Amino acid sequence: RKEVEQDPGPFNVPEGATVAFNCTYSNSASQSFFWYRQDCRKEPKLLMSVYSSGNEDGRFTAQLNRASQYISLLIRDSKLSDSATYLCVVNPRYGGSQGNLIFGKGTKLSVKP
Amino acid sequence: EPEVTQTPSHQVTQMGQEVILHCVPISNHLYFYWYRQILGQKVEFLVSFYNNEISEKSEIFDDQFSVERPDGSNFTLKIRSTKLEDSAMYFCASMGDFTGETGELFFGEGSRLTVL
């Protein structure tokens, strides 16, 4: 089983749509979770951390289900500028300083006018 | 806004040649990383570096790879004898301190290595 699995997409949605990305991870001892965004041929950039209680940042909502080892990202009212690849990222240890980040392959989102 | 800077942006080399990729992490950061991304593939951890030594490395980071922090600002990745499969985008990243769950890695724009 792959360490971090994501639907590769692409997801093609119209502006204003709501889109959801899912991710599963294999290491039940994983401690912290993130969504990164990567534009074509650019570096990954942190979108948001994912907390056990779920968290929201504007149009973005992240959820974590430790029992199912499942992470989600919801984007509401999608904009053209949301077009990118969304990377599910897991830290198998507490704090990035002690371990490496495990990246999923990413889900590509394309928002059309 | 402080940023991680990497040079060169693109390097083309012949198989078997040595390559050094350069990174200047954010100035007050303590933890440094190299990741790579083969075209169309996922981002993969190579090595982490703290307090002037490697703190962790992946199985990709074999004897052909080395890292160095020669002075207070630079952080380099050396590939001793490049292979075709080393062709990838190499990302340097840094983190400020141990902030636990919310620690954020800041990535440079990457150095694209093409091995012919």
Residue B97: pLDDT above 80?
Answer: no
Average pLDDT over residues B42-56: 92
Residue B100: pLDDT above 60?
Answer: no
- At B101 the pLDDT is 46
DSSP reduced 3-state for B20: strand
Residues of chain B positioned with their CB less than 8 A from the CB of A99: 48, 56
Q: B53: which DSSP letter?
A: E
Q: What integer best gives the mean pLDDT of chain B?
A: 91
- At A94 the pLDDT is 57
Nearest to A95 among B43, B103, B108 (CB): B103
Are B17 and B82 contacting, i.e. CB atoms less than 8 angstroms apart? Answer: yes
Average pLDDT over residues B24-53: 93
Q: B16: which DSSP letter?
A: T
Q: What integer best gives the mean pLDDT of chain A?
A: 91
Residues of chain B contacting A, Cβ within 8 Å: 30-31, 33, 35, 41-45, 48, 50, 55-56, 58, 89, 91, 95, 97-105, 107-110
CB contact under 8 A, B101 and A31: yes
What whole-number distance in Å separates Cα of residue B9 and Cα of residue B19? 13
Average pLDDT over residues A62-84: 96
CB contact under 8 A, A97 and B103: yes
**Which structure tokens are listed for A49?**
């951390």
- At A85 the pLDDT is 97
DSSP A8-51: ---EEEETT--EEEEEEES-TT--EEEEEEE-TTS-EEEEEEE-
Q: Kindly state the percentage of chain A with pLDDT values over 90.
A: 74
Q: pLDDT tens digits for A18-56?
A: 999 999 999 888 888 999 999 998 999 999 999 888 899
- At A27 the pLDDT is 87
Average pLDDT over residues B50-69: 93
Residues of chain B positioned with their CB less than 8 A from the CB of A98: 55-56
Q: Please, which residues bridge with residue B22 across strands?
A: B7, B76
Gap from A33 CA to chain B (nearest CA, Å) = 8
Residue A1: pLDDT above 70?
Answer: no
What whole-number distance in Å separates Cα of residue B64 and Cα of residue B18? 9
Task: Please name the residues in contact with A102: beta carbons below 8 A apart, sequence gap of 6 or more.
Answer: A3, A4, A25, A27, A30, A89, A90, A91, A92, B45
Residue B9: pLDDT above 90?
Answer: yes
**Which structure tokens are listed for A3?**
């360490």
Residue of A nearest to B58 (CA): A100
Q: Which residue has the higher pLDDT, B114 or A93?
A: B114
CB contact under 8 A, B107 and A43: yes
Average pLDDT over residues B76-86: 97
- At A11 the pLDDT is 95
Q: Which residue has the higher pLDDT, B99 or A20?
A: A20
Q: Nearest 10 degrees: CA dihedral of B90, B92, B93, B94? A: 160
